[in-house]
């Protein structure tokens, strides 16, 4: 060390001088040879301005430095576009028909949130949507009774320039009436340039659903249809008869029956089934039987209407007789008829017939798994006081 100091022509400083120096100077890194450094005064000035950071001092942030984004809470997962597109291929690089199928698949599964997410993405990309896809979305809104999402679909129809499509307008009228918004349905109906029988039927059905026992709105709509010369079809009279059946309006129902005979539509099985149901709900059993006996071809829906009508009027023996008649014709009960038949059997205490019905349910494995059939069997055995058989049905679930 002494040789090194001699070569540099410097004399070593005593230790006391080092102790008197300020700590800021010692903390600053000095060059190896201060004689060859002409900026040593600048280093000394900067060293004097330096101060060590305090432990409680908040660190300063540069103006141009970006702050880190806060992540959303883990408890509320966000729905992203990746969740809507189940396949790995991006939407903008796929065939539009494949995208339409994805939307229709979501609509059939009642997943309107995912379908509307894809619609928003297609709207941003400028990809048009066909009427068939919108029809599937409107049908999903009808099933879910979702008026808010139905209005969103209506807005997308306007964006795509399909508002003048009569088919979609008819579907929209049906959607609004099914969701209980008669005002929106009437507004949509009034804006239609040409009115065929289908939007009229949609409006008529809406009045039937929302009217309940009040059938005057239905009659007013039906009167307007006749005044405008609209060609009435089977569905029009079916909605009309259904409204009269719900309000027990026998006189109006008789007039409609006469109008069907006059127009040659009484041969329709759908209208005859509606007439039988109306007469049963109005308490006219003989008229219902007359309409039934006039029919040559009788399907299971017609037989079920007769069994339901007798059970509704507490005519259990007649209901059982028609079930036996139906089986002799080669038509066996389905789920709907079994659901009506088991309470009838329990009320008349027909033990043997009840066990036969139970054996038929066990034989058809699809029926034995239905919850309402099992509940009807348990109720039947409990009413008879056979708690053991009812417990067996309960434990076999």
Q: 76 falls in which pLDDT band (50, 70, 90)? A: low
| Rounded Cα gap, residues 387 and 379, in angstroms | 10
**What does the pLDDT read at residue 2?**
42
| Rounded Cα gap, residues 51 and 308, in angstroms | 95
Lowest mean pLDDT among 31-45, 70-84, 183-197, 338-352: 31-45
Residue with tokens 């806060």: 70
- Closest by alpha carbon to 235, among 278, 212, 276, 265? 265
106-128 per-position pLDDT tens digit = 999 999 999 999 888 888 888 88
Residue with the bigger pLDDT between 266 and 72: it is: 266
**What does the pLDDT read at residue 26?**
43
Residue with the bigger pLDDT between 29 and 208: it is: 208
pLDDT exceeds cutoff 70 at 239: yes
Contacts of 327 (CB under 8 A, 6+ apart): 333
Where in the chain are the domains?
92-194
pLDDT exceeds cutoff 70 at 345: yes
Q: 22 falls in which pLDDT band (50, 70, 90)? A: very low
Q: 278 falls in which pLDDT band (50, 70, 90)? A: very high
- Closest by alpha carbon to 118, among 135, 133, 99, 132? 99
**What does the pLDDT read at residue 30?**
46
Q: 8 falls in which pLDDT band (50, 70, 90)? A: very low
Residue with tokens 């009808």: 142
pLDDT exceeds cutoff 80 at 52: no
DSSP class of 36: G
The number of CA neighbours under 13 Å toward the Cβ of 354 is: 23
Q: 25 falls in which pLDDT band (50, 70, 90)? A: very low
- 182 Rama class: left (phi>0) / alpha (psi -120 to 50) / beta: alpha
pTM of the model: 0.67
Percent of the chain with pLDDT over 70: 75
Mean pLDDT, residues 23-43 taken together: 47
What element of type H or E holds 78? none
Question: How many Å from the N-terminal Cα to the C-terminal Cα in the chain?
Answer: 98
**What does the pLDDT read at residue 75?**
58
Cα–Cα distance list, 396 to 286, 362, 392 (Å): 43, 11, 6
| Rounded Cα gap, residues 123 and 112, in angstroms | 16
| Rounded Cα gap, residues 240 and 201, in angstroms | 10
160-216 per-position pLDDT tens digit = 999 888 889 989 998 998 888 888 888 888 887 767 888 888 888 887 877 666 678
- Asked: is 92-194 a CATH 3.30.200 domain? The reply is no
């Amino acid at each position: 060390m002494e040789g090194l100091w001699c070569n540099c022509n410097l004399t070593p400083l005593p230790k006391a001088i080092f102790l008197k120096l300020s700590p800021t100077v010692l903390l600053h890194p000095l060059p190896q040879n201060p004689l060859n450094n002409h900026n040593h005064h600048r280093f000394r000035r900067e060293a004097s301005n330096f101060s060590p950071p305090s432990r409680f001092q908040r660190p300063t942030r540069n103006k141009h430095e970006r702050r880190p984004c806060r992540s959303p809470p883990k408890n509320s997962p966000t729905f992203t576009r990746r969740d809507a597109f189940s396949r790995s291929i991006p939407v903008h690089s796929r065939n539009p028909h494949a995208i339409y199928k994805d939307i229709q698949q979501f609509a059939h599964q009642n997943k309107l949130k995912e379908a509307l997410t894809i619609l928003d993405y297609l709207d941003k990309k400028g990809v048009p949507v066909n009427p068939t896809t919108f029809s599937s979305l409107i049908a999903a809104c009808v099933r879910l009774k979702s008026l808010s999402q139905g209005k969103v679909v209506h807005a997308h129809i306007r964006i795509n320039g399909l508002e003048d499509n009569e088919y979609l307008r008819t579907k929209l009228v049906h959607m609004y009436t099914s969701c209980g918004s008669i005002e929106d349905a009437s507004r949509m109906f009034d804006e239609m340039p040409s009115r065929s029988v289908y939007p009229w039927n949609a409006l008529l059905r809406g009045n039937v659903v929302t009217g309940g026992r009040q059938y005057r709105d239905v009659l007013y709509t039906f009167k307007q249809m006749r005044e405008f010369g609209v060609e009435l079809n089977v569905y029009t009279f079916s909605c009309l008869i259904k409204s009269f059946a719900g309000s027990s309006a026998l006189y109006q129902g008789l007039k409609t029956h006469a109008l069907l005979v006059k127009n040659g539509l009484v041969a329709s099985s759908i209208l005859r089934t509606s007439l039988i149901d109306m007469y049963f709900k109005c308490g006219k059993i003989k008229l219902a039987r007359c309409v039934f006996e006039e029919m040559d071809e009788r399907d299971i829906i017609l037989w079920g209407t007769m069994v339901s009508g007798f059970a509704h009027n507490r005519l259990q023996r007649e209901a059982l007789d028609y079930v036996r008649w139906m089986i002799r014709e080669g038509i066996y009960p389905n789920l709907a008829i079994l659901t009506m038949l088991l309470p009838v059997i329990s009320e008349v205490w027909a033990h043997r017939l009840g066990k036969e019905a139970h054996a038929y349910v066990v034989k058809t494995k699809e029926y034995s798994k239905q919850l309402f059939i099992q509940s009807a069997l348990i109720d039947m055995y409990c009413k008879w006081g056979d708690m053991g058989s009812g417990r067996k049905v309960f434990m076999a679930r």
